[in-house]
Structure 1
Amino acid sequence: MKPSRRPSSSAMTKPSSRYHRYPDADYAVPTPDHFLPLLYILGTAKGELPYTFNNVRNLGSMALTGYAFGL
C-alpha cells in the first residue's frame, strides 16, 4: 500500500490540542481517550508518512484502520 497523503500545511499548523473548541468536537471525540493517543503518534512520527493498513470500513462507518511508522 502507498503511504497516506501528507496533510496540507494549513492542516498541520492548526492547534490539534485544542480540538474541543471546534464545532461538533463532543460528537467526534466523546472522551479524550479517543483522541489524545493521536497526539502522541503525531509527535513521534517526526514528519514521516505512515504506512496505512487494514483500511476497511464495516457497515459503512466502523473503521479499524491502522498506521505504522518506521517501516
Structure 2
Amino acid sequence: MRVILDLGRCNAYGNCVIEAPDVFDIDDASGLAIVLDENPPEERRAKVLAAARLCPVLAITVED
C-alpha cells in the first residue's frame, strides 16, 4: 500500500491525523498534513482508508 497526499488540495482539517496518527501528522511550518509513513504496514490499511474517506477535500489517495 502506498499513501499519496496532494498538498495542493490539503486544507489542514486534520481528520487524517485523528484517524491514523501513525501515518499522518501536521507540519508545524506549513500547517498542512504530512505523510509519516508512505508505505504503512497492511494492519494499518483500515485506518488509512478511513483517513482518506474522511478528508473533506479528498487530498489522500491510497494505491495498492
- Asked which structure has the greater RCO (Cα within 8 Å, sep 6+), the reply is 2
Highest CA radius of gyration, 1 or 2? 1
TM over 0.5: no
Q: So what's the TM-score if we normalise by structure 2?
A: 0.28
**Greater share of strand residues, 1 or 2?**
2
**Greater share of helix residues, 1 or 2?**
1
